[in-house]
Amino acid sequence: MLSDLIGKILDKLSGTSLLATGLLLLTALVSALVAYWRTVEEKSWKEFFEFVIPHEVITHPSAKADLMFWVTKKALMPFLMLPAGIVFVTAVGYGTNWLFSTLFQFQPPLIEGPAGPVTVLIFTITMLLAYDISYYLYHVAQHRYPVLWELHKVHHSAEVMVGITKDRVHPLDELMNRAWDGVIVGVCFGIWSLISLNLVELTVFGVNVYVMRNILMMDFVRHTHFKISFGPLNNLILCPHWHQLHHSTDPRHYDKNFGLLFSFWDRLFGTLCVPKPDEDFKFGLVDRDVRDYQSLAGLYLMPLRRMWGHIARRIRSGKPRTSRSTEGTRP
């Protein structure tokens, strides 16, 4: 059972990675063409390449830090985070399956046979919702609690957006996010294993949903300077321009647009902020030592040191601090 599960997961990962990469590049190209067509009046190939790859952006210290961080993370932790997420989700799913089947004395799944298209569709929708609300809650916590904010500041320290800025996430922060996914997403996973899907089938479908989510949210594009909007679909899907506002240093934009794929969580919880069409933003942190985040030591080690500082002060004082606003530092 376990070897079958692992084999199917590895086959699915290898099969979907090329497809995901191809779709990412295609999405980035189409987005660049759309943004260029809407922005530049006198059009030419030279102007197009200057618009897509502005010299002042790619030569910025923040862009160089993004590249160094991206290369070292890929070298040190190849294929770590997606399997880690699957492990956490699957572990909680197995636990949920065992708990309910033991308590109520039945052998899952309740509905026998392979999953039909309706089942797969409903499973996909519920898992997308579970992944998204899980991320929203964790993202809010990252901005609210100083210990988590020290890690999340790595992502917000980018002063220009170059696509791979999406991966400017501290490894510990990413691992904690995957572990948190195991709570909500794992329980949803486990419930499906009780109702209709066996665990092998469920895990393979789960990988597909995870990859689908990453494609739909256009994470690469929304970490560029392309002001892409989805029009009426903005009420459902968080477009790149709305996410770019989340990185703004303008106080009006603090703690807004936390969503990952769907925008209705922000509307529901009062954290939505709609930018003006083609509104420009200044990205980064307003900390006095913001430049310290443009080196590998600043991106990998400084957040850990500062996290420990918060923990040590909390232990000494015995008074928990629940808001990063008391720190005097904003994104």
- Within-domain flag for 92: yes
**Total domains in the fold of the chain:** 1
pLDDT at 24 > cutoff 60 = yes
- Within-domain flag for 1: no
- d(CA 278, CA 269) in angstroms, rounded, equals 25
Please state, for a pLDDT cut of 90, what percent of the chain lies above it.
43
* Ramachandran bin of 163, using left for φ above 0, alpha for ψ from -120 to 50, beta for the remaining angles: left
pLDDT at 305 > cutoff 70 = yes
Least confident of 145-154, 163-172, 236-245, 286-295: 286-295
Look at residue 328 in the predicted model and tell me its pLDDT: 43
- Within-domain flag for 159: yes
Whole-model pTM: value is 0.84
Higher per-residue pLDDT: 328 or 299: 299
Look at residue 325 in the predicted model and tell me its pLDDT: 42
Look at residue 326 in the predicted model and tell me its pLDDT: 41
- d(CA 250, CA 231) in angstroms, rounded, equals 24
pLDDT at 294 > cutoff 70 = yes
Look at residue 101 in the predicted model and tell me its pLDDT: 83
End-to-end CA distance of the chain: 46
- CA 153 vs CA 104, 300, 304: distances in Å: 46, 11, 11
- Within-domain flag for 327: no
Return the closest-CA partner of residue 295 out of 4, 107, 62: 62
Phi, psi of 301 (to 5 degrees): -100, -40
pLDDT at 1 > cutoff 50 = no
> Which residue has 């964790």 as its token pair?
138
pLDDT at 51 > cutoff 80 = yes
pLDDT at 42 > cutoff 80 = no
Instruction: Report pLDDT digits (tens) over 201-226.
Output: 666 666 667 677 777 778 889 999 99
- Within-domain flag for 325: no
- Within-domain flag for 321: no
Instruction: Report pLDDT digits (tens) over 124-164.
Output: 888 889 999 999 999 999 999 999 999 999 999 999 999 99
Higher per-residue pLDDT: 19 or 74: 74
Least confident of 6-15, 79-88, 202-211: 6-15
Burial of 35 (0-12, 13-18, 19+ CB in 10 A): buried
Phi, psi of 246 (to 5 degrees): -60, -30
275: CB partners within 8 A, 6+ apart: 241, 242, 244, 245, 281
Look at residue 135 in the predicted model and tell me its pLDDT: 94
Look at residue 313 in the predicted model and tell me its pLDDT: 86
Look at residue 116 in the predicted model and tell me its pLDDT: 75
Higher per-residue pLDDT: 137 or 1: 137
- d(CA 169, CA 174) in angstroms, rounded, equals 6
pLDDT at 255 > cutoff 60 = yes
- Within-domain flag for 326: no
- d(CA 28, CA 33) in angstroms, rounded, equals 9
Structural domain including 26 reads 8-316
